[in-house]
């Protein structure tokens, strides 16, 4: 089933503000964190190259976003700004992804190379959407890119199910498919005796939340969903038996031991 223009717009904007993208998109994350109440001009989103490939008409984009309520984003009263509804939640993207190899090459020096890469992403999305809901397609940067990609699904179970499909073809060629954790294990074994490489780290808001301005969200704390602090065994027992008297010195000692073990 071919998606309508409005559906493509909503899908792309949902992706921009998703857990799969927002915490790893330095531009969007910083803009959101440094803007009062987390609002971002829709005009800014409309200027992204992928959006412009769908439509360059701002009114069309606004209309599409207003047609269907999203669980991820919301518009302001004037329909000029957009923001994520809730804090981002750190996900295990690796466990719910597959590794695929055998994709056609794209000439990165071509005039419309970026557009060609976007088209390739969409084709991969369409292919695997026949088997499970696709959250994200990441083309892996290599010297002969984009021969390799990671496809992320909603759950580890769905990723494992798709990884077991051995006869998937792309443009008439059979793809090599592995569950991503399995692929990482194979690579670790293959290079276990090799000297470590200098890795180029991409932006990750979860790693920088306490080190810079991008981690300061004015609307909802720092923009992250907070986990309940883990209580020590002594604290749990104390809450369960409030009438019992507790030796404060022993409690302090137990807390130190618990922290050391962590």
First to last CA, the chain: 51
Within 13 A of 48's CA, how many CA atoms are on the CB side? 18
Q: How many CB atoms lie within 10 A of CB 125?
A: 16
**CATH fold group of domain 97-190:** Alpha-Beta Plaits (3.30.70)
Tens digits of per-residue pLDDT, 47-59?
999 999 999 999 9
Q: What is the pLDDT of residue 25?
A: 95
Are the folds of 5-84 and 97-190 the same? no
Tens digits of per-residue pLDDT, 90-123?
999 999 999 999 998 887 777 788 888 899 999 9
pTM of the model: 0.74
Q: Is 54 exposed, middle or buried (0-12, 13-18, 19+ CB in 10 A)?
A: buried
**CATH fold group of domain 5-84:** Arc Repressor Mutant, subunit A (1.10.10)
Q: How many CB atoms lie within 10 A of CB 174?
A: 11
> Which pair of tokens denotes residue 30?
């910083």
Domain ranges of the chain: 5-84, 97-190, 228-262
The span from the CA of 54 to the CA of 81, in Å, is: 19
Q: What is the pLDDT of residue 223?
A: 58
Q: Are 41 and 81 in contact (CB under 8 A)?
A: yes
Which helix (DSSP H) or strand (DSSP E) does residue 46 occupy? helix 42-46
The span from the CA of 206 to the CA of 193, in Å, is: 31
Most confident of 114-123, 208-217, 240-249: 114-123
Which helix (DSSP H) or strand (DSSP E) does residue 177 occupy? strand 176-179
The span from the CA of 29 to the CA of 31, in Å, is: 5
């Amino acid at each position: 089933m071919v998606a309508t223009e409005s559906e493509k717009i909503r899908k792309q904007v949902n992706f921009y503000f998703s857990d799969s993208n927002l915490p790893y998109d330095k531009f969007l994350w910083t803009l959101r964190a440094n803007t009062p109440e987390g609002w971002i001009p829709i005009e800014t989103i409309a200027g992204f190259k992928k959006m412009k490939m769908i439509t360059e008409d701002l009114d069309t984009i606004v209309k599409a976003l207003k047609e269907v309520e999203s669980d991820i984003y919301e518009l302001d009263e004037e329909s000029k700004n957009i923001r994520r509804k809730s804090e981002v939640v750190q996900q295990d993207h690796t466990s719910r992804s597959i590794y695929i190899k055998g994709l056609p090459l794209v000439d990165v020096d071509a005039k419309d190379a970026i557009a060609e890469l976007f088209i390739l992403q969409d084709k991969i999305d369409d292919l695997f959407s026949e088997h499970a809901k696709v959250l994200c397609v990441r083309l892996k940067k290599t010297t002969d890119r984009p021969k390799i990609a990671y496809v992320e699904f909603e759950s580890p179970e769905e990723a494992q199910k798709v990884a077991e499909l051995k006869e998937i073809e792309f443009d008439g060629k059979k793809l090599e498919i592995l569950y991503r954790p399995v692929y990482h294990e194979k690579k670790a074994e293959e290079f276990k005796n090799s000297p470590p490489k200098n890795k180029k780290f991409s932006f990750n808001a979860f790693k920088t939340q306490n080190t810079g301005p991008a981690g300061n969200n004015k609307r909802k704390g720092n923009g992250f969903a907070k986990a309940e602090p883990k209580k020590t065994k002594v604290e749990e027992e104390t809450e369960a038996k409030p009438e019992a008297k507790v030796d404060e010195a022993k409690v302090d000692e137990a807390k130190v031991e618990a922290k050391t073990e962590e």
